[in-house]
Chains A and B, each alone.
Chain A
Amino acid sequence: MNKLPLIIKREYIAKVRNKSFVVMTFLSPFLMVGMILLIAYLTQLNDNDKKVIGVLNDSSYFSNEFVTSEATSYINFKDISLAAAKDSTLSLGFYGLIYLPDEPNLEQVAQRAFFYSKDAPSATILDKLENSITGRLRQERLREMGLSPKEYAEMDRRYNINIETFDGNQNIKGINEIKAIIGGAFGYLIMMFIIIYGGFVMRSVIEEKTSRIIEVIISSVKPFHLMMGKIIGTSLAGITQFAIWIVSGAMLLFIGLAIFDIDPASLTKGSGMTPGVANGANVDVDALTQNIQLYAQEIFDLPIFAMLFFFIVYFVLGYLIYSSIYAAIGAAVDNETDTQQFIFPVILPLMLAIYVGFFSVFSNPNGPIAVAFSLFPLTSPIVMLMRLPWGIGEGGVPVWQLITSILILIGTFIGIVWVAAKIYRVGILMYGKKPSYKELYKWLKYSS
């Protein structure tokens, strides 16, 4: 029994000293940060790319509609023919030309208006133009019904609904998206960890088989101890790697942001996370700060400690289940190319969990699909973690579901490790042929 730490230590050191592991550990943060910086830079670049649109306004309307804004500027042509305006637009390299003909009334102007461009115009630009014209038309129609421009402006003020939960907490828009992002990050982290480090466990088992050291070792230790030592040692190496990534990644990100002088807020803008803030131009400053406080409050109110605790529980159980399966696969085959047929069914539930999480859990965290998949042991580590940001108990995940899910997971863990250990102990001494599922089933019935 005291040999388990020895095995864990060897597996850990073997993994950590591995050249590709070292390279990946120290290169990945640079790659990640580089990518984030690139995205931020491209976003800024995109914002800076102003579109210039020529306006040939022969009508007596639309004098105020086409004003230069942050993303588009309008250049007015005066007293030239449409053909000349088109030529100038093209030769000046403008994005396009909006033509408003001279007609007796607004409706007719709108009907005969044209937008000319070199290529098919972007939907955003068209939207903008159409909105401008629609707005003017609405104003005109309402005016004909007897509404003054002042009354019209009053009417057009945007309305935001107030949100509150049944127990009276004030709620704000966008918090669900934040919860989804946090839950999604947890679930995604678990999936990545299982796939990467499960693969490492599998390769390490195959290595022992192909180097034929396996029989030497299991004449000293029990195969079960070897398997568990391998799984634990590899996961400790993984945790080391993640810790290095988080620390160095955070440091690099701050350094990078400081050097390139990028406002971190520009990264979150437009992600749909903070709609209230994004079109905050017409929201007064007081409301804005109040909103920010509300967000902070909401994030603060998330069951952070419970989430971290359950993250660890689900992470450990989920990882143990999957990596024992990976170890059994490694034991069953002779080389990595033979693993494909066995790996696909392993990755399938993980992918399913992620998709179910993104498409079903976020829109309805307590719906039947979310509940079912957070109880099913092969998907629960991911799906349950995606549900947890909505709280535990009232309004969130019912306590019985949480307990049932963990109990099922523990039961599955015992069952799967038992099955995997059996396949492992038979498989590691089998050479030559690629086993079928039928054969694996037969191995289960061998007495030890």
Chain B
Amino acid sequence: MSHILVAKDVTKQFGSHTALKNVSLEIPKNSIYGLLGPNGAGKTTLIRIINQITYPDQGSVYFDGELLKSEHIAQIGYLPEERGLYKSMKVGEQALYLAQLKGLSKDEAKKRLKYWFERLEIGDWWNKKIQELSKGMAQKIQFVVTVLHEPKLLIFDEPFSGFDPINANIIKEQILSLKEKGTSIIFSTHRMESVEELCEYIALIHKSEKILDGRLSDIKKAYKNNIFKIGLETDNQEELVREMQDKFDVLAQEYNSIEKQLNITVQLPSNQSSEILSFLGSRANVNGFVETIPSANDIFIKTIQNKNLDNE
């Protein structure tokens, strides 16, 4: 598989502070790649290096197979976390200016802006000043400006901050449709629920180092620990619980008296689900049998906690 962006052993210092330490990443084409990490981990520095706002002290970055160079700026769209627009400039003029800075001609920029403004139903804002718009409205303009030059790689740093749920959803749909059209997307956030929804791949950066990366489903598989949740219907629940505690590693149990259901959480040695099923089959009705998959949030917290423990 080819990659839109490859970083090799990227290191960046600011004075005595190391912002990135030997970070290597491979971002596949046409995917949404989640760049995760706590505040101050080095995500923004990495993104700034990709945007050539700053340059690595060591290591190299390749864009679409070539060593990153200034011509690539026109191929990248960046929505920074710290974002804003000229407050006293009119929406249309401002969008045209920013599009031209990305290398679009004025006519082309105008055409595409018209398309996007119609698509997001904001056409009548053209002659308004930014200071007359609400924060969410300005964010929409900002989004349009970011994607207008149809870059191969889009980088969104916390794209949903400042949006209400309805507009956040509109933007999410636009991001997904851009991906459908073949754009590769780097998505930096610490809001894990949007990671679950959008990202195919993730990388976790912590204290200037990459501590985890790969396909999200693979990572989840690696992080699952054979814990199952079982819903049972039985007349003799107390005895069943006792028997199960003898045979298996029961982590928790509770009885829901309304649904008349016994819920048991059990840790199994790997791949022994058939054994417990046959054991239960003769004793109770099995209403539910689910392996608990860790959420991205769990993985995030667990990995970082482990890392911190290792360091101590």
Contact = CB atoms under 8 A, between A and B. Distances in A.
A14 B86 contact: yes
A446 interface: yes
Contacts of B86: 14, 207-208, 211, 213
Interface in B8-50: 13-15, 48
A439 to B, nearest CB: 10
Contacts of A217: 98, 101
Given A219-B78, A220-B101, A221-B101, A211 B85 contact: yes
Given A6-B100, A10-B97, A445-B15, A219 B85 contact: no
Interface in A199-239: 207-208, 211-213, 215-222
Q: Which of B57, B86, B102, B142 lies at the interface centre, i.e. has the most chain A CB atoms within 10 A of its CB? A: B86
Contacts of A448: 54-55
B51 interface: yes
Contact of A213 (B53, B83, B100): B83
B76 A216 contact: no
Contacts of B88: 14, 18
A442 B13 CA distance: 12
A217 B82 CA distance: 12
Contacts of B83: 212-213, 215-216
Contacts of B123: none
Interface in B247-296: none
Contacts of A207: 86-87
Interface string A431-448: 100000000001001111
Given A212-B84, A219-B73, A447 B57 contact: yes
Contacts of B145: 216
B84 A219 contact: no
Contacts of B101: 3, 6-7, 217, 220-221
B80 A219 contact: yes
B89 interface: yes
Contacts of B100: 3, 6
Nearest to A445: B15
Nearest to B77: A219
B192 to A, nearest CB: 25
Given A6-B101, A429-B53, A447-B55, A215 B80 contact: yes
A4 to B, nearest CB: 11
Given A218-B53, A442-B15, A212 B82 contact: yes
Given A447-B57, A448-B54, A211 B97 contact: no
A448 B49 CA distance: 10
B73 A220 contact: yes
Contacts of B97: 6, 10
B111 to A, nearest CB: 18
Interface string B50-81: 01111101000000000000100100101010
A215 B82 contact: yes
Please classify how large the interface on chain A is, using the bins under 10, 10 to 19, 20 to 34, 35 or more: 20 to 34
Contacts of A221: 101
A446 B78 contact: no
Contact of B89 (A14, A220, A431): A14
A211 B87 contact: yes
A150 B52 CA distance: 94
A315 B85 CA distance: 33
B53 to A, nearest CB: 5
Contact of B85 (A6, A213, A429, A442): A213
Contact of B51 (A6, A211, A219): A219
Interface string B83-127: 111111100000001101110000000000000000000000000
A211 B131 CA distance: 10
Nearest to B76: A219
Interface string A1-12: 001001100100
Contacts of A14: 86, 88-89
Contacts of A10: 97
Interface in A1-29: 3, 6-7, 10, 14, 18
A379 B145 CA distance: 45
Nearest to B85: A213
A220 B84 contact: no
Contacts of A218: 53
Interface in A147-187: none
Q: Which of A207, A212, A220 lies at the interface centre, i.e. has the most chain B CB atoms within 10 A of its CB? A: A220
A233 to B, nearest CB: 12
B148 to A, nearest CB: 11
A18 B102 CA distance: 26
A446 B76 contact: no
B138 to A, nearest CB: 10
A29 B181 CA distance: 59
Contacts of A445: 15
11 contacts: A3-B101, A6-B97, A6-B100, A211-B84, A212-B80, A212-B83, A212-B84, A213-B84, A219-B73, A220-B73, A448-B55
Interface of B: 13-15, 48, 51-55, 57, 70, 73, 76, 78, 80, 82-89, 97-98, 100-102, 142, 145
Given A216-B98, A220-B101, 6 more contacts: A6-B97, A10-B97, A216-B78, A219-B73, A220-B98, A431-B82
